[in-house]
Amino acid sequence: MKPTVNIFTENIYNDWELDEKALIDNARVFINYFFDTPQIYDNSCLKNQKYDTIVFDIVYCDSEKTHTMNREYRDKDYPADIITFAIFADSSDDEKFIFDGEINLGEIIIALDKVEKNAQEKGCSRERELNFLIAHGIMHLLGFDHQTEEEYNFIVNAQEQALSKVEGL
């Protein structure tokens, strides 16, 4: 049985009015795809955990905010298009916290001005690029990283497969 998925969003970027409900619906499609793909689920932080609900947040902001967060939390001095705080995945086994069957996976922060720039450079719609980053953030929340080219290719392929499940992306 698939868990209940609660996704909370906040848009603090005034130059792009988002359809947050549609983005949440798409994120649910991505999660369902990742859950249904053994190569992903079996290697995620959720494998062998007992839970019935997962929760995470998505904050939409500008690159000034991600630059500040990168400096403060990651010792990196540049604006990022996405920053992910994978609370559950990055915790040691004895620190993983499940309360009343609920796992808080963490938070995804996306700089919408960077999304627009990336989309222009890639020649795709900003909606596609935004959804691509949401899928990327979810992969990080599930415990995947891309320290090697092989890991990066695996994540990007998983994102593309997840995006193919949403019409029009």
**Per-residue model confidence (pLDDT) at position 150:** 95
Residue of 77, 79, 85 whose CA lies nearest to 64: 79
Q: Number of folded domains in the chain?
A: 1
Q: Is 38 exposed, middle or buried (0-12, 13-18, 19+ CB in 10 A)?
A: exposed
Q: What is the pLDDT along the chain (169 residues), one digit of tens a residue?
A: 789 999 999 999 999 999 999 999 999 999 999 999 999 999 999 999 999 999 999 999 999 999 999 999 999 999 999 999 999 999 998 899 999 999 999 999 999 999 999 999 999 999 999 999 999 999 999 999 999 999 999 999 999 999 999 987 7
| Helix (H/G/I), strand (E/B), else coil: 73 | helix
Which DSSP helix (H) or strand (E) runs through 125? Answer: none
Please give the biggest Cα pair distance in the chain: 45
The CA distances from residue 156 to 25, 42, 63, 137, 151, in Å, are 20, 18, 22, 11, 9
> What's the CA gap between 30 and 50, in Å, rounded?
21
CB 169 within 8 A of CB 131: yes
**Per-residue model confidence (pLDDT) at position 152:** 94
Residue 23: inside a domain, yes or no?
yes
> What's the CA gap between 66 and 69, in Å, rounded?
5
Residue of 69, 89, 79 whose CA lies nearest to 138: 89
**Per-residue model confidence (pLDDT) at position 168:** 79
Residue 168: inside a domain, yes or no?
no
Domain containing 47 — which CATH number? 3.40.390.30
> What's the CA gap between 34 and 45, in Å, rounded?
12
From the CB of residue 18, how many other CB atoms can be counted at a distance below 10 Å?
15
**Per-residue model confidence (pLDDT) at position 2:** 86
Residue 169: inside a domain, yes or no?
no
Q: What is the extent of the structural domain holding 112?
A: 4-163
Give me the amino acid identity at 23.
Answer: L
**Per-residue model confidence (pLDDT) at position 110:** 98
Residue 151: inside a domain, yes or no?
yes
Residue 122: inside a domain, yes or no?
yes
